[in-house]
Structure 1
Amino acid sequence: MTDTFATGISPRAATQNHHPQQLSQLLRNLSLNAGPKITLRDLAVAMEDRSFGAFLVVFALPNLIPLPPGATFILGLPLIFVAWQMFASRRPRIWLPKRMGDYAFENATFFVFVNRISPWLQRAETLIKPRGWFLGSRFVERLIGLLALILAVVIFLPIPFGNWLPAFALAVIGFAHMERDGLGLVAGAMIGMVSLAVAGAVVLAAGAVLTFIF
């Protein structure tokens, strides 16, 4: 694939030239056309310049379910890795270390997983769809990446009840990025700002309680 940033064609212009394939169909096509195993690199290549959003969703979703204490410390690291690249990388898509990129899973298992999440994805795709896309430059995408990085760090930190809302914001941002939905991206960013305010209030309240006790 031609690098749109290298050729001087903006992501916005590239999006306007073709309708991006929806995630549910893209994952199904990947499974149908792949061999017996699928690697994370296969997924990144299939997502092309939408891979930042795809991996934000992949790593944000586990943080939306109840997890034992300390789990966000592990699950937050991949989010920081993805968000940092979205903010700082000069590449138009995610870069994976060889060991991570080579991580493979059975295509049959992947196909079952895709079939199970497809109804949820298709419902989400009726709400988040290509419209009002404004990421016409790498600078603007870096700003979104900076917000995503801050949210990922908040998820990583052991803040009581402080990880769910930032994870939800990252999931919305990631999904909107994949679907080229400018309105969805703004909504995700607003949720992210609210989640940062909530996390800050929790930290301040905890600090006040500890000061009172000690």
Structure 2
Amino acid sequence: MAAIPSHEQVSLSQVRIPVDMEAHAHEAEDNHFDYHQRAQWLRAAVLGATDGLVSVASLLMGVGAVKKDFKAMLLAGFAGLVAGACSMAIGEFVSVYTQYDIAIAQMKREEKTKNSEDMEKEKLPNPVQAAFASALAFSVGGLVPLLGAAFIKEHKMRLRLVVAVASLTLVVFGVIGAKLGRTPVVSSCARLLVGGWMAMAITFGMTKFIVSTGLQF
């Protein structure tokens, strides 16, 4: 068998080496990516959207358990959406601002220099941004079951649609959270789905029970 010329050997190695280096570079970048940092904002976004979805869907199921009136159900859902978004925004603002104050106090105790302190302040969370993001996420999640119920006049079909839309959206949230956070998809979806079903079932059942005791709305 004829020997491969030396210049061909060099060209083959030159083709192979960049490919290997590129693969190692992508692998190193993936291994050093800070998924914990991503998990912080991911948790806030998924939590806010899921909270809005489950809260409004459960509220619609609770009202629908005792009221067949279309307007009453939608009005209650809208009120729950606005109240929940405001509550999430205020709670997130207070929580993040408290965290901000603690971090500033710790920096002062450690007697940081002025330049270092200014640099560290830029890395601290912004309470206003956190409040806005939390309220927005809640509103997006809450709009899903509300819009799903807005176009169905028949009572039982409306309740079924709320459950179906909420369930499908919970699965979508679970998949998104799992993909971005690099966690198991099945367990993430199962947790959200079972939790949402429990919330809607408990709200529906408790409202039915209260009415069955004689209290009328």
TM-score under structure 1 length normalisation: 0.28
Q: For the pair shown, which has the larger CA radius of gyration, 1 or 2?
A: 2
